[in-house]
Structure 1
Amino acid sequence: MLMAVSQPSLVWGFDFGDGATVRLDGPNGVAVPGGGGDDLLDPKAGHLRWLHVNLADQSSCRWIAGLSSLPEAVRDLILSPDGHQRALVEGGYVACVLHDFEVDFARGETSRVGALQVAIGPGMMITARHHPLHAADVVKRRIDAGTRPADAAGALDLLVTSIAAVAATSTRTIAAKVQASEDALLADGWEPDQRDLVALRRRTVQLHRQLSGIRGVLLRLEEDEDLPPSLLSAVERLGQRVAALDSDVVSAQSDLRLLREELDLQAQQRTNRNLYVLSILSALLLPATLVTGFFGMNTAGMPFQHSPFGTLYGGLVAAASAGAVYLWLRRKGFLGGK
């Protein structure tokens, strides 16, 4: 009996129908007369009810576990701690797990990836999460601004396009930063911080994994013969959009890879130039070192030993040996000569 009257921890909820949008969440809880259990999934005929619940609250888990109108496989997917992206179709209901970036109320969007569980059925849609997600905020803002999905296909379209919008914004930001770094590098020789490039690379990897996973989920649904016909066109359209966006992410990854390769090439060229200078200096100083070492031997009969200009003569011999090596290197082309 407790299951029959339980209510979820509702983040937000809406009823769409008759050209109007009715909010179901508020300071007094869920504004559904009599409300609990499966009654929350029973909107008026021709209406669409969308509930976004917080799985971090055990009341939401108990409510979902007690929904007899949902197939068991759908309930298990929503409540599963496994967060990898996947989808299933069971008894006319569609369930899937999609990835989105978590948000922190103090710092905004984070780099942490969270799971969004989705269940779609006749006249209803449930989205559930453990941590606040960016796309859910985008969905709510769009609904508050006047967007009204007419059916489950429209709700799925709104959800996936909101996730795609967040990913597209991140992709454009990354592409702009990479292009600005390329322009500065080629024009002024300015080099970006390697830590910034590592952070950008990590972000592109996360975006690619997110979008490729969503694309796989939509493809899985598109190929399922049990998928409700009303959702097929929306799934096909969304799959194409996500695929195009994923291509943009891959392009940004390629640009970032080229930038890193250019930085590595310039660093290698600087190292080679430094090694070249050191090699030339070593070659020039080696004969002089040999001469000074020879004259430094404590043996009898050393040249210039009794000459008042012995030091000068020894220095001239060292300089002449270095000059001879210089001319030889230049003749061989090591110094850029012919």
Structure 2
Amino acid sequence: MTEQRPEFMIDSWDFSTHPAQAIESDFHDRQNSWFHIQRDQPGIQEWLQNSGIPEPLIDAVLEEDTRPRFERNPHGFLLILKGVNLTEGERPEDMLSLRILYYKGNIYSFRKRPLRSVGVLRERLKQQQGPESLHDFLVMLIEEINNRLEELLDVIEAEMEQLEDDTTGGTSERQRHLTQLHRRMLRLVRFVRPQLTAIERLAVDAVKWLETDNVQWLVNERDSTQRELESLEMLLEQVWMLREHLQQEVAEKMNRNTYWLSVIAGVFLPISFLTGVFGINIGGMPGVESDQAFWIFCGSLAVIAVVEFLLLRRLRFW
């Protein structure tokens, strides 16, 4: 009896021939095949058990919360990766999990939400322009995940340069944007660092499962991941440098304002003293009977202010 496609099966391809052929039925007892599965649908556990996959591996690929890692098993390996979230309305740094199980010559991949990197390969396979073998598929999948991450880093770097070159925006607004950018990069580093470790471990063990050319391509992708992590760390250093620069700008502005307030207070201190003294309404105040006393007093205050100004200028207070 012909086995029909399960509801959780998103896509499936047979790489025994080139170009790869879509699998529409008889999903068990195959070799050199890729099965792409929606992991939050019912019936997956039973189907995987019927495919001969041990229960501990099934639990590992269906676990809800995971981080990038690589684990060997007697018949292959488990590779968990994170890809950039390009779903509309979502934050790209909230990376999506992709679980890849290489078991007895087949690849099983598990997703909860669509990943653009997988979608690109699916489109290429439909156009018969995809990878030539199952090993090529694995390397190209890692390459596409790195490409999406690199595109996101280019966007972040452009935002960072714009913040550095912005001389018109307010300091508080620039600090707010910088804080948001900092949080985004921290989320990326949280997953990219263990992802590099996972790909490094895969590259070391790849000679057991992959052909020589694929091993070299995988090493190249490991280097790409290393470069992306280094770029993230450099951007984080730039964030701290720009944050310190903005804090220094605020401190200098406050010091400058405090300085000028001190100068102004110093100029008006003796004048305020004299106006306070001559504002006393008691007998014996000089000039009370003179019509010119007020103007003489104002002129004296002006002379005092000019003398103080010249004195502070000579003392190089500014």
TM-score (norm 1): 0.79
1:146–1:182 Cα change, 3 Å:
farther
- Matched position secondary structure for 2:202: helix
> Which range is displaced more, 85-94 or 136-145?
136-145
> Which range is displaced more, 294-303 or 228-237?
228-237
- Matched position secondary structure for 1:294: helix
Q: Does 1:134 align with 2:122?
A: no
Corresponding residue pairs, total:
312
> Which range is displaced more, 126-135 or 67-76?
67-76
Describe how 1:1-338 pairs up with structure 2 within 5 A. Answer: 7=6, 9-24=8-23, 31-33=24-26, 35=27, 39=28, 42-43=30-31, 48-64=32-48, 66-67=49-50, 69-104=52-87, 106-107=88-89, 110-185=92-167, 189-190=168-169, 193-194=173-174, 195-222=176-203, 228=209, 230=211, 233=216, 235-335=218-318
Structure 1's unaligned 5+ residue stretches are 25-30
By how many angstroms is 1:165 displaced? 0.5
Asked whether the equivalents of residues 109 and 134 of structure 1 are also in contact (C-alpha less than 8 Å), the reply is no
- Matched position secondary structure for 1:325: helix
Distance 2:216 2:75 in 1: 16
Whose relative contact order is higher, 1 or 2, with alpha carbons under 8 Å and at least 6 apart? 2
Asked whether the equivalents of residues 8 and 53 of structure 1 are also in contact (C-alpha less than 8 Å), the reply is no
C-alpha deviations, 1:105-146, integer Å up to 9, x for none? x54764422221110134311111222223222332343454
By how many angstroms is 1:331 displaced? 2.4
- Matched position secondary structure for 1:112: coil
Q: Percent identity?
A: 21
- Matched position secondary structure for 1:131: coil
Distance 1:17 1:210 in 2: 34
Asked whether the equivalents of residues 182 and 239 of structure 2 are also in contact (C-alpha less than 8 Å), the reply is yes
By how many angstroms is 1:91 displaced? 1.0
By how many angstroms is 1:235 displaced? 4.4
Asked whether the equivalents of residues 295 and 314 of structure 1 are also in contact (C-alpha less than 8 Å), the reply is no
Asked whether the equivalents of residues 82 and 98 of structure 2 are also in contact (C-alpha less than 8 Å), the reply is yes
Asked whether the equivalents of residues 78 and 101 of structure 2 are also in contact (C-alpha less than 8 Å), the reply is yes
1:225–1:183 Cα change, 3 Å:
closer
By how many angstroms is 1:226 displaced? 10
Distance 1:79 1:12 in 2: 18
The corresponding residue for 1:27 is none
Amino acid at match of 2:186: V
Amino acid at match of 1:216: T
Amino acid at match of 1:123: G
Distance 2:311 2:57 in 1: 82
1:109–1:10 Cα change, 3 Å:
farther
Asked whether the equivalents of residues 117 and 141 of structure 2 are also in contact (C-alpha less than 8 Å), the reply is yes
Distance 1:250 1:141 in 2: 34
Distance 1:87 1:70 in 2: 17
1:7–1:242 Cα change, 3 Å:
same
Amino acid at match of 1:153: H
By how many angstroms is 1:81 displaced? 2.0
Asked whether the equivalents of residues 5 and 25 of structure 2 are also in contact (C-alpha less than 8 Å), the reply is no
